[in-house]
Structure 1
Amino acid sequence: MARKKVTPESNVRQGPVLSPNRKVEIIGILVMVIAMLIAISIITYEEGDYSIISDTEISTVFQGDDVSVNRVRNGLGLVGAYISHAFVYLFFGYLSIVVAIIGFQYGWAIFRHSPLAKLQWPSFLWFSGMALFATIIGWINIQFDLNLDNFFGVAGLALAQLMLTITGMYGSAILLGAFLIILILLLIDRDIQLTIDRIRDAVASFRDWMDQKKSDRKIAREKAAEQKAIQAEEAARLKLDEESKRPNLTSANTISNANDAGHQPNTSNRGIQPLERKRYVIADESKPADAVKPPDLSDEGNSEKNSPLPISAERERWIKEQAEMKEKIMPDRALMEKEEDKVRNAGYEDEIQIKVYVGEEEEAAKARDLEREQRAQSIPVIKYQFPTIDLLDNPPLEGNEIDFDEIEENKKTIISKLKMHGIEILTVEAIVGPTVTLYELQPAPDVKISKIESYANDLKMAMATRGLRIIAPIPGKSAVGIEVPNRKRQTVYIKQLINTRKFVESKMALPVAFGKTIENEVYMVDLTAMPHLLIAGATGSGKSVGINTIITCLLYKCHPENLKFVLIDPKKIELSLYRYLQKHFIATLPDADEPIITDTAKVMETLTSVTKEMDDRYDLLKMGMVRDIRSYNDKFKEGKLEDDLGHRHLPYIVVIIDELADLMLTAGKAIEEPIARIAQLARAVGIHLVVATQRPSVNVITGTIKANFPVRIAYQVASKIDSRTILDTMGADQLVGKGDMLVSTSGSMIRVQNAFVSTEEVERINAFIGNQLGYNKPYFLPKVEDPNARDSGIPELDDRDDLFEEAAKVVVLHQQGSVSLIQRKLKLGYNRAGRIIDQLYAAGVVGPYQGSTARDVLIADEDELLEHLRDLDA
């Protein structure tokens, strides 16, 4: 094996002694050391040191002849005496140590490779504070002669003298106080308005706390008074019971003595007897004779009319009546048993008490909480103002009252209907929501849950309602749930969700507040955690309003620098209002004519471009050695990624497809591939899909699409089959429409009332944003080759499709060269029709690709086509 020849050039080529990063770290360490030395010299400052070194010549110091240098007390010796004199005496006194602090911060930032721009504002505040406090101390020293020279220096004294000369004592005091207040406000928040809002909120919170304390004390006093009243009532009752026992004893003795003497007891002396609950007993042959005793017909009166009959005659009459009653009852034994059950169960529904729970409203945000949070997310790239809460409609002033009569009536109907089928209910609890009320039933231990589910239609008929849904059992509870629609529904307005602390103070990247749950809680999710959303619902069920809710929430929470939309609307009317967002929030193709994609021929190109954007972003994450978009943007913001390598700030991209069924009908399986790729891979790079359809059939929501959308929302659908297609279970067919929806997340099911967003609100929000100055150009998606245009790879004409000639005749006949025409006329798939178009272009039948418009047909009629084809074969 030959040895590798070592050339002199190979010996010369060696790496640098120190890498650039190492050099930067060394510079950072040196800056921090210098800052610490300056701090030591300032701390160990002595007034007499400078007078010693000022009389000393430098040459004598190096020769060692001057003994006076040894008397310098500064911690850094001669150098420290010079430095401390410059900072303490000439500059701002001991406050000049701020310079050392700022220097140390810059050294640490250099050592950590952090961007120095982040330190500009804090350094300005530190330096301003040093100068201001030195001036204030100098002003106080002039006025009161406190001998504080080392705390303000010559510079601080000069500033104080200047202010006193110009504005006098009172003017300078007012100005210094104003400057101090401004400095404190800027230290708290860079935006002074935010600080004022915080102070206002703190005062309001303190006032609320005081009011709460007063209310708690008032409630405590009322409880104490109530407790005393209960104790007094209890004592009075015990006293009454003791008094009532004494006559009983006397009566008992009297009766005993009367019986001993052979006389009838004196019933007029009987004491008070406790009341007993009324009972109903029906005679039965199986019971012993003594189970039904003859009535005591003796009376207390002494008149002749009420005098007792002889015992034998009375008993004979009673026996005769019992026999007649028995003859009447025996012929209809079934009727007797039915009446017996009716009497036995009388009042059964009333005995079971129902507990009604109403979820508390989410705490409303303060006056300027939303504006403060929005300003905190502002990015100084463009001057952008977030939409204000005033653009949303206010909910009606009348409160949402609870109909307790309706709840009690429904409870009785449910219990009685289940009792008729032999299902005993032990407890009932009702949770009142905006659309439905959930009745939580705890059945007897011997009841099968499936038995309750089988009577859903019976309950629906008995309650004369639609949309009743049985949850058997409720996840996490030993109870069965029955959701019954409220007769009077409560509308949930979008303003009630956005103006809550839960939404305003949320730290989610893409927060979406859909509506309210049965417990009256705001249902809010992070779109980045979903990470994609599949929506289905019939016409009028609230699906389009749900899409508007998603967009509205994101517009109120996200800056245009951090969010872009790709809006695909084959129906051309649902998302057209958002065209005004083109300068701020819309991502589009470079050659797109409209910001909202309505042409189905452009959809494939757009989705392919999104997949190309996804691949490009993964390359950037790989170069940046991070795993997700949030870490990448943080690293880019800190200046750790170089711009010349293609690194840039990556906004989140939300792709919204309003009607998937129409796209599947026109593009077929070809549209499924980019949707599946985006759903599988795009989460880490910040691209998220929201796909909606009216018809959730298996032809539209295929297995590939369904498998990659773990979170699905179902509004009211037409059938149980549609419900199973979207949710893998029944239930969506039982919804009541108008925003009533089921959210399926990882096996759990939540019923939510979608918030209502009116068209007028959407128009106001879009006009507010559209009237602002936006970016110079929209966010362009990468340019990709259109699937119809394959000019670079023209197929061989020898390998023509079997339907090539027939397709050529169709194109010439209609004078339109498009893939969709061949699909419709020849009933072909998208890919095969695209290949035929490429072959027709190679054969010179049609012209090149022209974007969203059809290709030009280069042949006028069929005769010319036949001649052209013969020339090709030749």
Structure 2
Amino acid sequence: MSDLTTLLEVGGPVAALGGGAAYARAKHPAAYWSTVGLPVSTVRLLSTYGSVMEACGLTVAPSRLRVLAAKAMTRREVRPVPPRRGLLRPTTTGLRIRLRLAPGQEPADFAASAERLRHAWGVHAVYVTPVKPGVIELRLVGYDVLRRVRMPRKIADGFLKVPVALREDATPFVRDYRTIPHQLTLGATLSGKSMYLRHLIAGLAPQPVALVGIDCKRGVELAPFAPRLSALATDPEQAAELLPVLVKEMEDRYDLIKARQGIAPGTPDEEITSDIWGLPEHERPVPVVLFVDEVAELFLVATKKDEERRDEMVTQLIRLAQLGRAAGMYLEVCGQRFGAELGKGATMLRAQLTGRVCHRVNDEASAKMALGDIAPEAVMAACSIPPERPGLAVAGDTSGGWSRIRTPYLSLTDAAETCHASAGLVPDLPALEPFRPDVPERPVEHAAPVVLPHPVTD
């Protein structure tokens, strides 16, 4: 009986702790990492650092002076030297450590061994980032941060910058229109493309920018954000009328820039500009962000007349993509399908869209159209996105870099409320006024009286 009591007294708490840890790891990975995973991984890294580096081939031969000193003092063989490490910096999602590379090493050596380091130290993933010549940073991620997306509390945002998703290395993915002016976003039904677009609009709504929408699905995607939109076209006919107005607005802005470049003899060099950002603030026109949803609808034709209208719209979109950046006009082109078979101008339009975001698509050709000119492995990553993870996407740009991202959930009600609250920030653009969407007035809710009235009796 005493043995059974002892077993219950010792084994009961151990079983409870083990079960609680297993439950936390499955349901609350962030809490599990902070309480269990972080201490275990820290001890494992510090105790096995040298042997792991040697096993991965990331060590170098010791210097002659060190060999002579070791033989003179200890008479033992000197082992290869691993890179000198800095202090461990724990985070809510993992660990960060800086390494000083030994002579002859490069960051690619560590990137090639990232999978080995992940298994050796028992973490979810290891990412290598160059900091400066001779110094890299290893970012160890303790768990799958894309399973339940939680955006960091502190994000360096700013004007025309929208933190829209979380990368697989636990850093925020920020859509910066000043750096990447135009972007192509693809995704099948229920892939999370609409959620991505919803975050962009909600993030830009409180900023002093003009938002313009072309939604050929009769406006079902962009109509809820009508209070904040400066213009909205809900079918190809309206889009054919709106695009020339935007091109004319772009040309007027170029005329303004050229007028500023009518350089007088005493004009300081810093006042000479080639885009709107060099203009004085009181002369600078407001930036315009054009959202095109279901871009394939603009390419589809049924008659000869539709073909002429299609060619005009595609030409105007290409002009906006080629020349819009200097005029402060940016494109966000979205669709379920995008390929060369859409017609003349599709490939040329894609070439002007620097940013690429590909959610789950129904065919490999769309993934190749979005990411094929960036990296073949990015295409394979996009084609392997599971349907049960909406919002997961592969983001890249024409510089060749790419990463997996996932957009957090944002309800349509919250996004629409953000646009309604910032409806007063819609800029005054007379050219777009005929395309301003009608916004129904909300019914005024009268508060109930504090004191109930009582009938007067004699």
TM-score range with shorter-chain normalisation?
Answer: 0.5 to 0.7
**2:392 aligns with one of 735, 740, 745:** 740
Aligned to 2:416: 763
Does the Cα contact within 8 Å between 2:198 and 2:412 map onto a contact in 1? no
**Structure 2 counterparts to residues 224-235 of structure 1, below 5 A:** none
Aligned to 1:539: 189
Counterparts in 2 of 1:580 and 1:711: CA distance versus 1, 3 Å: same
| 2:222 matches 1:564 | no
Aligned to 2:245: 609
Structure 1: gaps (5+ residues): 1-397, 412-421, 439-444, 457-467, 588-595, 637-648, 784-874
Per-residue deviation, residues 100-123 of structure 1 (Å, max 9, x unmatched) = xxxxxxxxxxxxxxxxxxxxxxxx
Does the Cα contact within 8 Å between 1:613 and 1:781 map onto a contact in 2? no
Higher RCO (C-alpha 8 Å, min separation 6): 2
Does the Cα contact within 8 Å between 2:230 and 2:432 map onto a contact in 1? no
Q: CA RMSD in A?
A: 4.8
| 2:341 matches 1:687 | no
| 2:143 matches 1:491 | no
Counterparts in 2 of 1:615 and 1:764: CA distance versus 1, 3 Å: same
| 2:291 matches 1:656 | yes
| 2:361 matches 1:707 | no
**Structure 2 counterparts to residues 179-190 of structure 1, below 5 A:** none
**1:578 aligns with one of 217, 225, 228:** 225
| 2:52 matches 1:401 | no
Aligned to 2:277: 630
1:598 Cα deviation (Å)?
0.8
Per-residue deviation, residues 677-723 of structure 1 (Å, max 9, x unmatched) = 11111111111111011123333583211211122222233455433
Which has a greater percent of strand?
Answer: 2
Q: Tell me the distance in 2 between the aligned counterparts of 1:773 and 1:685.
A: 20
Counterparts in 2 of 1:742 and 1:516: CA distance versus 1, 3 Å: same
Q: Tell me the distance in 1 between the aligned counterparts of 2:369 and 2:202.
A: 28
Q: Tell me the distance in 2 between the aligned counterparts of 1:524 and 1:543.
A: 16
1:525 Cα deviation (Å)?
4.1
Q: Tell me the distance in 2 between the aligned counterparts of 1:773 and 1:673.
A: 31
Does the Cα contact within 8 Å between 1:568 and 1:656 map onto a contact in 2? yes
Per-residue deviation, residues 79-138 of structure 1 (Å, max 9, x unmatched) = xxxxxxxxxxxxxxxxxxxxxxxxxxxxxxxxxxxxxxxxxxxxxxxxxxxxxxxxxxxx
1:653 Cα deviation (Å)?
0.9
Aligned to 2:441: none
1:557 Cα deviation (Å)?
3.0
Aligned to 1:599: 235
**Structure 2 counterparts to residues 138-157 of structure 1, below 5 A:** none
The secondary structure found in structure 1 opposite 2:205 is: helix
The secondary structure found in structure 1 opposite 2:201 is: helix
Q: Tell me the distance in 1 between the aligned counterparts of 2:168 and 2:406.
A: 8
Counterparts in 2 of 1:437 and 1:664: CA distance versus 1, 3 Å: farther
Which has a greater percent of helix?
Answer: 1
**1:517 aligns with one of 158, 164, 167:** 167
1:433 Cα deviation (Å)?
9.2
Aligned to 1:529: 179
Q: Which amino acid aligns with 1:711?
A: G
Counterparts in 2 of 1:597 and 1:782: CA distance versus 1, 3 Å: closer
| 2:366 matches 1:722 | yes
Provide TM-score, normalisation by structure 1. 0.31
The secondary structure found in structure 2 opposite 1:723 is: helix
Per-residue deviation, residues 43-68 of structure 1 (Å, max 9, x unmatched) = xxxxxxxxxxxxxxxxxxxxxxxxxx
Counterparts in 2 of 1:665 and 1:437: CA distance versus 1, 3 Å: farther
1:570 Cα deviation (Å)?
0.8
Q: Tell me the distance in 2 between the aligned counterparts of 1:719 and 1:432.
A: 38
Q: Which amino acid aligns with 2:392?
A: D
Q: Which amino acid aligns with 1:513?
A: P
Q: Tell me the distance in 1 between the aligned counterparts of 2:311 and 2:126.
A: 38
1:542 Cα deviation (Å)?
1.6
Q: Tell me the distance in 1 between the aligned counterparts of 2:395 and 2:146.
A: 23
The secondary structure found in structure 2 opposite 1:780 is: helix
Aligned to 1:640: none
**1:780 aligns with one of 406, 431, 452:** 431
The secondary structure found in structure 2 opposite 1:400 is: helix
Counterparts in 2 of 1:516 and 1:536: CA distance versus 1, 3 Å: same
Aligned to 1:749: 402
Q: Which amino acid aligns with 2:254?
A: Y
Per-residue deviation, residues 566-614 of structure 1 (Å, max 9, x unmatched) = 1011112111101122xxx414xxxxxxxx2111112122112211111
Does the Cα contact within 8 Å between 1:568 and 1:657 map onto a contact in 2? yes
**Structure 2 counterparts to residues 221-620 of structure 1, below 5 A:** 400-402=30-32, 486=144, 489-492=147-150, 500=154, 502-503=156-157, 506=158, 508=159, 510-558=160-208, 563-571=209-217, 572-581=219-228, 585-587=229-231, 596-620=232-256
Q: Tell me the distance in 1 between the aligned counterparts of 2:142 and 2:358.
A: 18
Q: Which amino acid aligns with 1:740?
A: L
Q: Tell me the distance in 1 between the aligned counterparts of 2:246 and 2:220.
A: 23
Q: Tell me the distance in 1 between the aligned counterparts of 2:194 and 2:238.
A: 22
Does the Cα contact within 8 Å between 1:492 and 1:754 map onto a contact in 2? no
What fraction of aligned residue pairs are identical, expressed as a percent? 22
Q: Which amino acid aligns with 1:634?
A: E
Q: Tell me the distance in 2 between the aligned counterparts of 1:539 and 1:710.
A: 24
Counterparts in 2 of 1:524 and 1:480: CA distance versus 1, 3 Å: closer
Provide TM-score, normalisation by structure 2. 0.57
Per-residue deviation, residues 302-329 of structure 1 (Å, max 9, x unmatched) = xxxxxxxxxxxxxxxxxxxxxxxxxxxx
The secondary structure found in structure 2 opposite 1:601 is: helix
Q: Tell me the distance in 2 between the aligned counterparts of 1:469 and 1:718.
A: 28
> Which of the two has higher C-alpha Rg?
1
Structure 2: gaps (5+ residues): 1-27, 45-54, 60-81, 83-87, 97-103, 116-123, 262-272, 302-306, 435-458
Q: Tell me the distance in 1 between the aligned counterparts of 2:255 and 2:178.
A: 20
Does the Cα contact within 8 Å between 1:517 and 1:752 map onto a contact in 2? yes
Q: Which amino acid aligns with 1:566?
A: V
Does the Cα contact within 8 Å between 1:470 and 1:483 map onto a contact in 2? yes
Aligned to 2:22: none
Q: Would you say how many aligned residue pairs link Structure 1 and Structure 2?
A: 323
Aligned to 1:78: none
Q: Tell me the distance in 1 between the aligned counterparts of 2:201 and 2:248.
A: 24
